[in-house]
Structure 1
Amino acid sequence: MTSLRSLGIALVSVLAVSPAAFAQDSDGDRAAGKRFAVVGSATILQPNSDPLPGSRLDIDGDVAPTISASWYATDNIAIELWGAADKFNHRVKGDGGKIGTVDQQPIALSGQYHFGAPDKVMRPFVGLGYYESNFSNERIGGDGPHVGLETAKGAIATAGVDFNINSRWFARADARYMKGDAKLREAGVGTGEELTMDPWTVGVGIGARF
């Protein structure tokens, strides 16, 4: 809850800036025609609340820094490489409370469409692509056989909005949904079961275009 509250406060702070302030352009330049952008964000990732139906298993969310780099083929169409700059650490819980932890680090490549002209104060965008999420440092189940998770792979959908500060700098708020299962392994052998992680993310950050 503390993580959600912190992200909420950051998002409210971004939205509270007046449109006039966002519209200012300190160098007299224009955002149109710039082909590259990078964004650094604070992002919360929350897995599915019922990842293994019938098991009463639950996996907590976590906050980590993420970074994206985009190339704009046109002022409206972009290709984005997005990923976690650090690992999301998840607490795994069962009926009796905490039973372990696992780290997750996703990366994704998406095509995006940014609505409106580049110099508009607010620019919504949507995207669709492919992601992979690596799991590591699995410590689940105490002293029994090691339980591991294979890399989750699948589709990622993105929706967000950019708030132009000037021709170079902008603030961003975005949400992402990743659809994909992670196969379970016990002592290095597949169990035939899969965790339906299907995580969503919410992030706020600052970007620059070049």
Structure 2
Amino acid sequence: MRSIKILSLATLGALALSSTAFAQDGTADTASGKHFAVVGGVALLQPKSDPVDGIDKFDGGPAPTLSASYYFNDNIAVELWGAADKFNHRVRTDGGAKAGSVEQQPIALSAQYHFGAADNVFRPFVGVGYYESNFSNEKIDGLSGTGDHVAVETAKGAIGTVGVDMNINSTWFARADARYMHARPELRVAGAGTGQDLKLDPWTVGFGIGARF
């Protein structure tokens, strides 16, 4: 959480210093017509509470993220986004005790619409697509009450995105976004399905710096 706050303050400071200069730039350089963009940043992922009977919550956590986009024109793009490392979650029971931990690493493909002209200082965008999130290193063996290993099936489903890009110049921009993933992976015990779905439905809040070319 501290690293996200530091990145947020640094990003806001850089934007405050650079946005006026970009708005007053009289050169012919423009963001319009550029087809590729990459963004590196950090995101905090937080699943919902009470995902299944016996579990109070999966604690949220940060991870670095990367994305690559292709712009068909100045407004319509397709984005490949994912975590560059795994999100780590502590699993807590209804009484608040730690029951173990699990890691996940999502990847998503989304179509996006970016509002306004390419050179606007602020450019809001929305997106919708499909994602998968692989769970690994599950250490929640005691949850089943039998001593058998408990695993979480790969989550799959829809992802929605809202965000805003703030142009620094025709190449560089800062990004803030929020993503919602519809996640209902099945709990598995000793390798077999249980019919119990974890209603995780996590949100991510992310900040990053991008470049277009």
Q: TM-score, normalised by structure 2?
A: 0.90
Q: Does 1:203 align with 2:206?
A: yes
- C-alpha distance in 1 between matches for 2:111 and 2:78: 5
Deviation at 1:87, TM superposition (A): 0.3
Residue 23 of structure 1 and its aligned partner are, at CA, apart by 3.0
Find the counterpart in structure 2 of residue 112 from structure 1. Answer: 112
Per the TM alignment, residue 141 of structure 1 is displaced from its structure 2 partner at its CA by 3.2
Secondary structure of 1:117's counterpart equals coil
Separation in 1, partners of 2:184, 2:106: 13
Q: Does 1:74 align with 2:73?
A: yes
Q: Which amino acid aligns with 1:203?
A: G
* 1:41 aligned partner: 41
2:18–2:168: 8 Å Cα contact kept in structure 1?
A: no
CA distance in 2: counterparts of 1:32 and 1:46, whole angstroms:
35
Which letter does structure 2 place at the counterpart of 1:87? K
Cα distance in 1 for residues equivalent to 2:191 and 2:108 = 26
Q: Contact between 2:43 and 2:204, CA under 8 Å: does it hold in 1?
A: yes
Partners of 2:120 and 2:80 in 1: CA distance: 24
1:170 is aligned to 2:169: no
2:162/2:177 contact within 8 Å kept? yes
Q: CA deviation at 1:131?
A: 0.6
State the match for 1:97 in structure 2: 97
2:189 matches 1:186: yes
Correspondence for 2:134? 134
- Following superposition, the deviation at residue 152 of structure 1 comes to 0.5
Q: Is the alpha carbon distance of 1:73 and 1:99 closer, same or farther for their aligned partners in structure 2, counting shifts above 3 Å?
A: same
Q: How far apart, in 1, do the equivalents of 2:26 and 2:85 lie?
A: 33
TM-score, normalised by the number of residues in structure 1: 0.92
**Cα displacement (A) at 1:50:** 1.7
Aligned equivalents of 1:133, 1:102: Cα separation in 2: 12
Tell whether the 8 Å contact from 1:23 to 1:164 is kept in structure 2 after alignment: no
Change (3 A) 1:151 1:26: farther
Alignment gaps of 5+ in structure 1: none
Name whichever of 91-100 and 65-74 sits farther off.
Answer: 91-100
Q: Which amino acid aligns with 2:107?
A: I
Equivalent residues of 2:15, 2:168 under 8 A apart: no
Provide the residue aligned with 1:60 in structure 2: 59
Instruction: Give the residue type in structure 2 aligned to 1:85.
Output: A
Per-residue CA deviations over 1:75-112 (Å, capped at 9, x if unaligned) read 10000000000000100011251110000000000000
Q: Deviations over 1:97-137 (max 9, x none)?
A: 11100000000000000000000111000000011110000
RMSD, aligned CA: 2.1
Q: Tell me if structure 2 keeps the 8 A contact 1:146–1:186.
A: yes
Contact 2:45 2:87 in 1 (8 A): yes
The separation in 2 between residues aligned to 1:105 and 1:18, in whole angstroms, is: 34
1:144 Cα deviation after fit: 1.7
Counterpart code for 2:61 = D
Offset of residue 16 of structure 1? 3.9
Measured in 2, the distance between the counterparts of 1:24 and 1:67 equals: 30
> Does the Cα contact within 8 Å between 1:181 and 1:198 map onto a contact in 2?
yes
Distance between the aligned counterparts of 1:150 and 1:27, measured in 2?
53
**Matched residue, 2:85:** 86
Residue 150 of structure 1 is matched in structure 2 by 153
Other structure's SS at 2:73 match: coil
Instruction: Indicate how the Cα distance of structure 1 residues 169 and 46 shifts in structure 2: closer, same or farther if over 3 A, else same.
Output: same
In structure 2, runs of 5+ residues without a counterpart are: none
